[in-house]
Structure 1
Amino acid sequence: MLSLLLLLSISLTSPSSAADFCVGDPTGPTSPAGSSCRKESTVASSDFVFSGLSVPGNTDNIIKAAVTPAFEPLFPAVNGLGISAARLDLAPGGVIPLHTHPAASEILFVTRGRIRAGFISSANTPYDATLKKGDVMVFPQGLLHYQVNAGGVPAVAIVSFSSPSPGLQITDFVLFANNISTALLQKVSFLDAAQIKKLKGVLGGTG
Structure 2
Amino acid sequence: MASFHALVFVALALVSAAPMAVVAGDPDILTDFVVPTNLLGVPMNVTADFFTYTGFAFPFLPPATFSVMKASMKEFPALEGQSVSYAKLRFPPGTVNPTHTHPRAAELLLVLEGALSVGFVDTAGKLYTKDLVVGDMFVFPKGLVHYQYNQGAGLAVALSAFGSANAGTVSVPLTVFGTGVDDVVLAKSFKTDVATVQKLKAALTPPPSPKN
Normalized against structure 2, the TM-score is what? 0.76
**Cα root mean square deviation, aligned:** 2.4
Per-residue CA deviation, residues 119-172 of structure 1 (Å, 9 max, x unaligned), is: 111111111101111111001110000000131111100111111111111111
2:47 is aligned to 44
Give, in whole Å, the separation in 2 of the partners of 1:161 and 1:24: 23
Q: Secondary structure at the match of 2:49?
A: helix
Structure 2 counterpart of 1:42, one-letter code: N
Q: Does 1:54 align with 2:57?
A: yes
Q: Secondary structure at the match of 1:52?
A: coil
2:87 is aligned to 86
Give, in whole Å, the separation in 2 of the partners of 1:196 and 1:77: 42
1:7 is aligned to none
Structure 1 counterpart of 2:136, one-letter code: D
For residues 128-147 of structure 1, the aligned pairs below 5 Å read 128-147=129-148
Farther off after superposition, 183-192 or 133-142: 183-192
Unpaired stretches in structure 2, ≥5 consecutive residues: 1-29, 207-212
Going from structure 1 to structure 2, the CA distance change for 1:153 and 1:191 (only over 3 Å counts) comes to same
Give, in whole Å, the separation in 1 of the partners of 2:63 and 2:133: 23
Going from structure 1 to structure 2, the CA distance change for 1:201 and 1:26 (only over 3 Å counts) comes to farther
Structure 2 counterpart of 1:121, one-letter code: D
For residues 1-207 of structure 1, the aligned pairs below 5 Å read 18-23=30-35, 39=43, 42-56=45-59, 60=63, 64-204=65-205
Unpaired stretches in structure 1, ≥5 consecutive residues: 1-17, 29-35
Deviation at 1:186, TM superposition (A): 1.0
Deviation at 1:26, TM superposition (A): 8.4
Normalized against structure 1, the TM-score is what? 0.78
Deviation at 1:19, TM superposition (A): 1.4
Deviation at 1:25, TM superposition (A): 5.2
Give, in whole Å, the separation in 2 of the partners of 1:57 and 1:26: 34
Structure 1 counterpart of 2:102, one-letter code: H
User: How many residues end up aligned between the 2 structures?
Assistant: 178
Q: What percent identity do the matched residue pairs reach? A: 34
Deviation at 1:96, TM superposition (A): 0.7
